[in-house]
Amino acid sequence: MEVLEKEKYSIKAIIKYAGAFIAWVVGSGFATGQEILRFFSSYGYASYFAVLFNLVGFIFVGQVILVKGYEHRSEDKFNHFLFFCGKKLGAVYSWLVPSALLLVMSALVSGAGATLSEYYGINHYIGSAIMAAMVLCAYLIGFEKLIKILSMVGPAIIIFILVVGLITVIIDFHHISEIGEHETELAALKPAPLWVISAILYIPLNFLCSSPYYTALGKSAKNRKDAKWGAIAGAIIIIIVVTIMNTAILLNAGESASLSVPTLYLAKKISYVLGAAFSIILILGIFSSCSTMMWSFCNKFFTEGTRKNRIFAVITSVIIFIIGLFPFRDLVGIFYPLIGYLGLIFIACVIYRGLGKRISSRSKLL
């Protein structure tokens, strides 16, 4: 333990891992505002309790998964599902997650089609096809190059979303007392009857499918502190953005509740030019998340870089394009809560492992 504590962290490395950590989360569900609208804003003022709950959850779960990846970096065949959940349950999750990834990637591709359709009038099918092709190309360049791209894309998306959110909050803050008037429209979007259930579901939604990617991200770290603080920094930044965007959406609840891409509406309301720029940022957000998911999915079945792996990646792109032809709002409303429920036991296992080590260490000190 003493050796670990003396490890020097690198600010540059922490920023890199924080950016890569953020890149997964800021997909179409997050960047379009549809995810925030459903899991947080739909509960009105109570949404802020859900945000606080997720602050704790994201920080703890995120750093546990990345650190465990780093600690097992020398094990080529390390399976984090078996490590956290045991042989039987871990085996179930090892095969369940690829199916869930396929569903989420389809929703992301559909989100790209919805974004291009709402702002530029481009046919939904064409927009989805463009995104599927971009994701395939990104996967074929390899994981290390992908990380370099995503570590830059993630922060850029976050900064842009923050700008839109902050300006909206400043301009529309006088509507804060009117949020309760839109309770009926917002309630129809709730993924669960109570805010606490929605808050709990949001954690496995973001960490079940992403765990193979986050484990690999931890493995790529040069030391434990870079992995740990990269995850913590990324988690804090994400929740700050959620808080601001949740407020911005609530202040425009009447319009936001009926839109597929509420954040694009907010950007366009500020400035048409800002809206146009933000539409590009949204596409990058969708691209970043979908690319990381493609890596996790395809590498589950075939070794990266092989001929079979590349052919499988092409087939996968076609499948997510076909499923992504369905309406974005419908896919998010069905797939996202489902994945949240499926991941509850996995997150419980991660928390148990994370807390168990801390309790054991304290017991030895006493």
User: Bigger pLDDT: 108 or 228?
Assistant: 228
3-state helix, strand, coil in the chain (%, to 5): 85, 0, 15
At residue 359, the pLDDT reads: 52
Average pLDDT over residues 88-104: 85
At residue 58, the pLDDT reads: 94
CA distance linking residue 138 with residue 28, whole number of Å: 17
Contact 313, 298 (CB under 8 A): yes
- Judge whether 192 lies within some domain: yes
Q: Percent of the chain scored above 70 by pLDDT?
A: 90
pLDDT(1) > 70: no
- Judge whether 252 lies within some domain: yes
pLDDT, tens digit (0-9, with 9 covering 90-100), for 120-136: 788 888 988 988 888 88
Sign of CA dihedral 191, 195, 199, 201: negative
- Judge whether 365 lies within some domain: no
Alpha helices in 72-86 (DSSP H): 80-85
- Confidence grade of residue 25 (pLDDT, cut at 50, 70, 90): confident
User: Bigger pLDDT: 162 or 361?
Assistant: 162
pLDDT(230) > 50: yes
Specify the residue for token string 């991941």: 343
44: left (phi over 0), alpha (psi -120 to 50) or beta: left
pLDDT(279) > 70: yes
Please, what is the Cα angle at 47 between 43 and 53, to 5 degrees?
A: 135
Q: What is the mean pLDDT of the chain?
A: 83
Average pLDDT over residues 161-173: 90
Please, what is the Cα angle at 11 between 63 and 68, to 5 degrees?
A: 25
Q: Decide: helix, strand or coil at residue 158.
A: helix
Q: How many domains does the chain have?
A: 1
Phi, psi of 354, rounded to the nearest 5 degrees: -65, -45
Instruction: Supply the DSSP symbol for 182.
Output: G
At residue 147, the pLDDT reads: 61
- Judge whether 4 lies within some domain: no
pLDDT(199) > 90: yes
- Confidence grade of residue 5 (pLDDT, cut at 50, 70, 90): very low
80-84, 97-101, 143-147: which is most confident: 80-84
User: Bigger pLDDT: 288 or 15?
Assistant: 15
User: Bigger pLDDT: 278 or 214?
Assistant: 214
Q: What range defines the domain where residue 177 resides?
A: 12-360
At residue 290, the pLDDT reads: 80
pLDDT(365) > 70: no
CATH of the domain at 166: 1.20.1740.10
- Judge whether 3 lies within some domain: no
Q: Which two tokens stand for residue 266?
A: 């907010």
pLDDT(295) > 80: no
- Judge whether 5 lies within some domain: no
- Judge whether 6 lies within some domain: no
Nearest by Cα to 301 from 159, 71, 145, 102: 102
At residue 269, the pLDDT reads: 87
pLDDT(217) > 90: no
At residue 146, the pLDDT reads: 59
At residue 76, the pLDDT reads: 78
- Judge whether 1 lies within some domain: no
What Å distances lie between residue 26 and 158, 239, 288, 313, CA to CA? 8, 11, 7, 22
